[in-house]
Amino acid sequence: MSIESPAELASSGSLLSKLFRRKNLDKILADSENQEHKLKRTLTAFDLVIFGVGAMIGAGIFVLTGSAAAGSEGHLAAGPALILSFVLTGFICGFCALCYAEFAAMAPISGSAYTYAFSTLGEFIAWIIGWALVLEYAVGNMAVAVGWTGSIKAFLAGYHIHLPTFFTSNMLNTVNTMDGVDTSIVLQKIPFTIPFTDTHQILLIQNAFNLPAFLVVMAVTALLVFGVSESAKTAAVMVFTKTGVILLFIAVGAFFLFGGHMELLHTNWFKEGWTTFAPNGFNGILTGASTIFFAYIGFDAVSAAAEETKNPQRDIPIGILGSLAICTFLYMLVTAVITGVVPLYQINKEAAVVSAMGAMGFEWASVLVSIGAIAGLTSVLLVLQMAGTRIFYAISRDGLLPASLSKIHPKYQTPHICTVLVGLFVAVGAGLLPINLLAEMCNIGTLAAFIVVCVGVAILRFTDPDRERPFRTPMGVIFPIIGALGCLFVMTGLPLFTWVVTGSWFLLGMVLYFGYGFSHSKLNNPPQNPTLTVKANREELPV
């Protein structure tokens, strides 16, 4: 593929051509071998599957399953047909996962969809996607951290320990006055409703800060500074813990549903409930799919660790596809047990798994499930935090963010500066912002990244057909196109208010790009001597 050199791009061409200038994959791979910014390769295929499962099994399976099955305000109940919602969402994500696997095996470097966009769609689109990925990983991690606090509170409440609300609640929160919420407990009430929502939805400012969420994010940040292999070992312990709890739940549920012990349940719900498998038909299934999409966020985080993988051409596809398949299967089984054991109108929307275990007469097992939920959410925090810092690292290495963010710690071989900065940003956000807004914002960033990866794979099939592809997405460009269209379809179901808030985030991104990134881009400032050897001290390079 013929690509203009950096010098040619810097000296000629319109503003539009500079915005869409590309780096070919050979140049990107060469930059990744720069010893000043080279990351240590320590991860195996097993580690990557652990990372993928660790990122996905968390809030989705322990929290969202109940609310999606039973329905919530403005969302139709999927009922037992939520199983099909997981199939639909997993099907769409599967096409995206194939594209991620092809790109990651072909370009095993940090940056994920950002790097892939840079090589196919140009610098400006790459920046937008990089900014979207920061939204996905950072804001998604804020939501998970808030959920982590909720799991801790529920666990301690089982031992009659109740933490004060002023340091376990978020300063900002959204409530519906129709639910009979006592607004007198808040410090101040914003005197207007939230735009683009129903007239009863209001924003509250509380005299509170979610301290546990802040502290757990900072603890994860410290662990990531010390090293990725240590983080992988920690994630493995937590993944095995929560997976064991989930398998226990599935096994107990299967015993009660098929082992002749239906008399222990309140009603013969399994027979009656599955007769009305889809109470709201296909619309309920679609609503369930959009609700639980957050449960699939994380498999793409595997590709962000490509530059730290020993054999990325083989291990990255295994990690992405393996973790996606495992989680989809577990989601379907958990949904089957919950909707088989608990009547639809009695499902606990905040703790569906725990309440289902109680309905089967295993109150003691609720403690194990709580431990599994805490371990699950902690592993999600670890993986998403790592992925977010690698995006910042890759953007900085291209000059679109300050060079200090891509510095590597001399002892731990990790991007310590951007790890700490991202950690602080996530920790403060987790202490302040409401979980529902965070989760919805995260979905947009994820879907945008998925679309770009699918489109990028299709483009490279035409612009660089002869490049070696250790892993190739089947069916030519058909699967990538299906993946992109599927993501667009899911995006249409997101609320307008989420688009407005997310638009503000991207507006900030545009200010940063045109105020700093465009003029400091390495493609805009090539070395005067193209044969210049990269010096050990980055400050000696022209900026």
Q: State how far the Cα of 38 lies from the Cα of 32, in Å rounded to an integer.
A: 6
Domain annotation covers residue 329: yes
Could you tell me the pTM of the whole model? 0.75
Task: Check which CATH number belongs to the domain holding 276 and give it.
Answer: 1.20.1740.10
Short-list 458, 190, 446, CA closest to 438: 446
Residue 288 belongs to a domain: yes
Query: pLDDT confidence of 187, banded at 50, 70, 90?
Result: very low
How remote is the C-alpha of 380 from its chain's centroid?
A: 8
Rounded Cα distance between 349 and 251, Å, is: 22
For 188-219, the pLDDT digits (tens) are 445 455 555 555 555 666 677 889 999 999 99
Element (H, E) at 188: strand 188-193
In a domain, 334, yes or no: yes
Whether the pLDDT of residue 242 is over 70: the answer is: yes
The pLDDT score that the predictor gives to residue 76 is 76
In a domain, 20, yes or no: no
Who wins on pLDDT, 40 or 100? Answer: 100
Closest CA to 349 of 54, 78, 56: 78
Could you tell me if residue 169 is left (phi over 0), alpha (psi between -120 and 50 degrees) or otherwise beta? beta
pLDDT at position 273:
52
Domain assignment present for residue 374? The answer is: yes
Q: Is the pLDDT of residue 497 over 90?
A: no
Mean pLDDT of 18-25: 79
In a domain, 17, yes or no: no
Residue 333, both tokens:
């089984």
Over the stretch 276-335, which tens digit does the pLDDT of each residue have?
788 888 888 888 887 787 778 777 778 777 777 888 778 888 888 898 899 899 999 998
Tell me what the mean pLDDT of segment 228-245 comes to. 75
Strand partners, 309: 43
Does residue 533 belong to any structural domain of this protein?
no
Question: When comparing pLDDT for 18 and 526, which is higher?
Answer: 18
Residue 68 located in a structural domain = yes
- Can you give the three-state secondary structure of 456-509, one letter per residue? HHHHHHHHCCCCCCCCCCCCCCHHHHHHHHHHHHHHCCCCHHHHHHHHHHHHHH
Q: What pLDDT, on the 0 to 100 scale, is given for residue 204? A: 65
For residue 129, give the nearest of 398, 328, 352, 358 by alpha carbon: 398
Q: Per-residue confidence at 421, pLDDT binned at 50, 70, 90?
A: very high
Number of domains in the chain: 1
Is residue 485 predicted with pLDDT exceeding 50? yes
Residue 385 structural domain: 40-171+208-517
The 10 Å Cβ neighbour count of residue 457 is 28
List, as one string, the DSSP characters of 105-158: HHS-STTTHHHHHHHHT-HHHHHHHHHHHHIIIIIHHHHHHHHHHHHHHHHHHT
Higher per-residue confidence, 358 vs 255: 255
Q: CA–CA separation, 303 vs 125, rounded Å?
A: 19
